[in-house]
A and B are shown apart, each in its own frame.
Chain A
Amino acid sequence: MKRILALWDRMRAFVIRDFQLAISYRLAFFFRVLSILIFVTIAYYISRTFMGRAEAFSNWRDPLAAWITGLAVLSYFMTNFSSLANAIRSEQLQGTLESVLMTPISVPGLIVASSALDFFQATLFSLLYLVFGAAFFGVTYQGSYLLAFLILILTTMVFASLGILSASFAMVFKKPDPVALLLGTGTAVFSGVFFPPQLLPSTMQQVSKILPATYGLSAIRGVLIENNGLNEARGPIITLLIFLAVLLPLSLWIFSRAVRRAKREGSLIQY
């Protein structure tokens, strides 16, 4: 209990620090919100071209709803992934890692705490996609928001595991993880954010099947657009649970090895 309270205190410290830093760049927040509105607007006009032409794909009958949910979820996954992956690296580059690690915070604690505001912001910006779509362009969402949220959390945990793997790579090699780049672009192209994966050539469809985002996105769209329940979402949820069962312990094990190696080499605070 004491450790949880300590982690909570530290998370609060990082959230306040990051908020103070963020408001020192006030315009950045405003431009981010504006860019989401512009993106949704462009998606609306493009979607009118495709309206009624994707009937074969149940999630895509309303292309705007499909895009908006796709972008919201992709933005959420990728922000959270990169936030974890870059937590150590950004402190290294700023030169503050040593002083932060001199406090009683642990390295895993630092990664979780320093990503907290990013998680919050990612949630806010993802919601803005959905809210702008509903408020200005008549997109309607149905189904259980709670179920959609639970699938979102589950997929996020899978991405968080990948983020921890990426952080381990950056800690040892002092370079951004090349797999992270592949995961980012691969998820955008193959997991059905912009078009149904079924449109891809059959060999490329295999790529979409190894990406956790494909299952998360398909299930969330199913709930929000097609009013699917737990029964229909069971398949993707089980696949995501298998991803999580493999990736989470693996990533934590690799991460602990990476921290030990970096401390032994004395390279934890180098960049």
Chain B
Amino acid sequence: MPAAIAIRNLSKTYPGAFELRRLLRRSPRKQPVQALCDVSFDVNEGEIFGLIGPNGAGKTTLTKIIATLVQPTTGAVTVKGFDSVNESAALRELIGLAAAEERSFYWRLTVEQNLMFFARLYSISKRQAQARIDELLAQLDLEHSRSKRFGELSTGNKQRMAIARALLSTPPILLLDEPTRSLDPLAAARMRSFIGSLAVGDPPVTILLTSHNLNEIEELCQRIAIISHGRIRELDTPDRIRTLHKARERVRLVLDGISIERAVNVLAPALADVEVAKDGPRTIITFSREIGDDRLDRGLRAILANGTRVVACETERASLLEVLEAYEREEDKGNR
């Protein structure tokens, strides 16, 4: 599959800003800050790619470099073959950016006037712009707000406006920053469904999604990259990242018709390190195991041999949050 976005050995160090006050006082400039270090990955056509990481990890810098708003120190970003530094204008025609920044609209203009202004900047004809605006307002449940001033919109609707604007020119690539942050659960679910539909539309939209909502990332993204301290720590499917990082899972068995004492005795020869608890008439057995080992098999055989009924068997693998926390812990240890 061809890469819609190709990032190669990208590094960004912000030089200390050029401050007039410091210049006049002849005091030294601020220390440079390394925001990205040797980042390389591809985002494929029609893929929803997630970028997760803690605050200050480099997500925003990476997004802004792709959007041509910031230039890299070394390395390159190409979008459908266009270089982000040397062909920035052509590249911007291919990209829509929806950032979670409320101030990015003109508050005294109406919803429609705002969108029409940005459509004109894309040189979209008035008739086409009007049709596109109508379509987007309908898709994003903003029709009733068409004549309202932007400043009068709710936070959630302001966020929808950012997405509507990003889609105005029907770009093949969309950069979404926390697209559901201010939406209520129902609206967030609708938004996720809308985002998902864009990727399978005709033509499909390639989406780079940054979010702190890990459930959202898991639900929407085919692949994710974990970024921390400016470096890509892991890049794979959500399932594999969880598995790669923590090849263990927790197993929970719900049994019927057996006491705690009896369960301990039955399982003792087959399994070590088992927790047994009572939940009403049921007995709950929990233990952890390496994924694919024979502990579950041995435990189940012992229980069934005792004639006990197994009501439920659940496994729980590491969540992306745990993976993220684990990377942060490793980073902290490394820094000490």
Residues of A within 8 A of B (CB): 5-6, 9-10, 12-13, 16-17, 20-21, 24, 94-96, 98-106, 172-173, 175, 260-261, 263-269
Is A98's CB under 8 angstroms from B99's CB? yes
CA distance A102 to B101 in the complex (A): 14
Q: A16-B120, A24-B108 are in contact. Are A103 and B18 (CB under 8 A)?
A: no
Is B92's CB under 8 angstroms from A17's CB? no
B244 close to chain A: CB less than 8 A: no
B165 close to chain A: CB less than 8 A: yes
Instruction: Please name the residue on chain B nearest to A258 by beta carbon.
Output: B18
Interface centre among B12, B19, B92, B104 (most CB of A within 10 A): B104
Within 8 A of A (CB), among B95-119: 95-97, 99, 101-106, 108-109, 113, 116-118
CA distance A96 to B161 in the complex (A): 14
Instruction: Please name the residue on chain B nearest to A25 by beta carbon.
Output: B108
Q: Choose one: A17, A24, A102, A264; the contact of B15 (CB below 8 Å).
A: A264
CA distance A95 to B162 in the complex (A): 13
CA distance A269 to B89 in the complex (A): 17
Is B121's CB under 8 angstroms from A104's CB? yes
CB A60 to nearest CB in B, in angstroms, measures 41
How many residue pairs link A and B with beta carbons under 8 A? The number is 95
B17 close to chain A: CB less than 8 A: yes
Within 8 A of A (CB), among B237-280: none
**Which stretch from B64-72, B224-232, B282-290 is at the chain A interface?**
B64-72
Is B120's CB under 8 angstroms from A95's CB? no
CB A122 to nearest CB in B, in angstroms, measures 22
Is B69's CB under 8 angstroms from A172's CB? no
Is B121's CB under 8 angstroms from A263's CB? no
B159 close to chain A: CB less than 8 A: no
Is A99's CB under 8 angstroms from B105's CB? yes
Interface residues on B, range: 35 or more
Which residues of the other chain, A, contact B113 by a CB distance below 8 angstroms?
17, 20
Which residues of the other chain, A, contact B121 by a CB distance below 8 angstroms?
9-10, 13, 100, 103-105
Q: A10-B120, A10-B121, A268-B69 are in contact. Are A95 and B18 (CB under 8 A)?
A: no
CB B271 to nearest CB in A, in angstroms, measures 56
B14 close to chain A: CB less than 8 A: yes
CA distance A181 to B19 in the complex (A): 19
CA distance A17 to B17 in the complex (A): 33
CA distance A260 to B15 in the complex (A): 13
Is B104's CB under 8 angstroms from A98's CB? yes
CA distance A175 to B20 in the complex (A): 8
Which residues of the other chain, B, contact A9 by a CB distance below 8 angstroms?
120-121, 123
Q: A104-B122, A172-B18, A173-B20 are in contact. Are A21 and B69 (CB under 8 A)?
A: no
Is A266's CB under 8 angstroms from B106's CB? no
Is B118's CB under 8 angstroms from A98's CB? no
B331 close to chain A: CB less than 8 A: no
Which residues of the other chain, A, contact B93 by a CB distance below 8 angstroms?
104
Is A96's CB under 8 angstroms from B104's CB? yes
CA distance A264 to B11 in the complex (A): 12
Is B14's CB under 8 angstroms from A95's CB? no
CB A8 to nearest CB in B, in angstroms, measures 10
B206 close to chain A: CB less than 8 A: no
Within 8 A of A (CB), among B13-55: 14-15, 17-20
B61 close to chain A: CB less than 8 A: yes
